Amino acid sequence: MNNFLLNINPATGLIVWSSLSLISVLLVIGCIINIITSRFSNVAVKISWIAVVLMLPLLGALIYLLKAPATKLQA
């Protein structure tokens, strides 16, 4: 039986994992920049968002993108 998954070149897996890692790092960096440049009610909220994004890199960035707009101050 010719299984597609058994015929994948090992370099393909390296490319996929490298791409996912790069996307994750860029997402975290983007979130940190967004946190620093955004206005929050106080500095403690900003520091807590930075801590969440740094301690849980991918999950923290996704949580920030979903929940942070409700905590930001409107200009």
Query: What does the domain layout of the chain look like in residue ranges?
Result: 25-75
pTM of the complete model beyond 0.85? no
Distance in angstroms (rounded) separating the CA atoms of residues 48 and 71:
12
Q: In Å, how far are 13, 24, 26, 43, 74 from 38, measured between CA atoms?
A: 37, 21, 18, 11, 10
Average pLDDT, the chain: 86
Least confident of 9-13, 33-37, 60-64: 9-13
Is there a contact between 58 and 51 (Cβ–Cβ < 8 Å)? no
Answer whether 16's CB lies under 8 Å from 5's CB. Answer: no
What is the predicted pLDDT for the residue at 69?
A: 79
